[in-house]
Amino acid sequence: MSTASGGASALNGSVAVVTGAGGGLGRAEALALAAAGAAVVVNDTGSTADEVAEEIGAAGGRAVACRGDVSEWATGQALLTTAVETFGGLDILVNNAGIVRDRMVFNMSEQEWDAVLRVHLKGHFVTTRLATAFWRERSRGTGQPVSAAIVNTASEAFLTGSPGQANYASAKAGIAALTLSTARGCARYGVRANAICPRARTAMTESVFAPAPVDGPDPMTVDQVTPLVVYLAGPRADNVTGQVFVVYGGTVQLMAAPTVERTFASTNPAWSDDDVADQLSGYFADRDPARGFAAMELMADG
């Protein structure tokens, strides 16, 4: 990847795959990566992928469409093959594709659960599996680490326990875990992996946010997210891996790893039922129940 310092050329010579790039945040990410100098493989399930690729070409960039469902192995293989055969390699993977099937957990169908986990979590796995294998082989062939980046798309839903999205929140928690595991397992080969939790107004989130302001800038536009994606994809973020960021409206929040809130120790050689009940019940008696939700303060910040 290029070591250019200017934002408009920070990714010169690099090749990126962006999934779910036919609209919304994925489209904005593809356009931003192309504007920064990357050649882009634009993925989506329909003709919008071709339209975005054409839009990038009309603006003077390089792009090609590759349609398909990212949860299918053949699509992952096609994305990698397209990147290598069209542009000579792969340096950046931005996993964005997703769907929602919102429903309270007690009303959710098996199909609604499976569909969301399949597109989000399996879709992230398929592309990550094939890209990291490609980079590992290339690193072994040269005896040197590659310079490759993965940017995954998680969500605050997994941090806050979004009540009507048990499937979506679970998938996003899995994506965060996949990101951390990938960062640790592939560091030796020169692969970085980070996750973003974007707040952005798209078709998938149209019921989440209030309408855009009539006067003044909209803090929830996708363009508020893309600068972080370009940064994480490029060489200026060479020391950033295994991190989760919340990003929206001119704000980037780096999430801390889970910490131990309290340790309870048995007063006897082994726990008894009464001992557990006495210690834990006493502690929880005056504790704010909302503290059981990992990051509710995030929503207050918005």
Catalytic residue among 168, 170, 231, 248: 168
Which parts of 39-190 are beta strand (E)? 39-44, 63-67, 92-94, 148-153
Q: Using CA atoms, how far apart are residues 149 and 39, in angstroms rounded to an integer?
A: 14
Q: Is 155 a catalytic residue?
A: yes
Count CB neighbours of 172 within 10 A. 27
Query: Which secondary structure element, helix H or strand E, spans residue 237, and what is its range?
Result: none
Q: Using CA atoms, how far apart are residues 178 and 194, in angstroms rounded to an integer?
A: 10
Q: Using CA atoms, how far apart are residues 167 and 116, in angstroms rounded to an integer?
A: 6
Q: Is 172 a catalytic residue?
A: yes
Q: Using CA atoms, how far apart are residues 209 and 198, in angstroms rounded to an integer?
A: 12
Cα dihedral value 90, 96, 97, 99, nearest 10: 170
| Strand 244-248 with 251-254, pairing | antiparallel
Catalytic residue among 2, 14, 139, 155: 155
Catalytic residue among 2, 14, 122, 172: 172
Q: Using CA atoms, how far apart are residues 255 and 298, in angstroms rounded to an integer?
A: 10
Q: Which residues, in sequence order, are CB contacts of 70 under 8 Å at separation 6+?
A: 19, 20, 43, 76, 79, 95, 97, 119, 123, 124, 126, 127
CA distances from 72 to 123, 124, 281 (A): 7, 11, 47
Asked whether 51 and 29 are in contact (CB, 8 A), the reply is no
Cα dihedral value 37, 136, 44, 11, nearest 10: -10
Q: Point out the residues that are catalytic.
A: 155, 168, 172
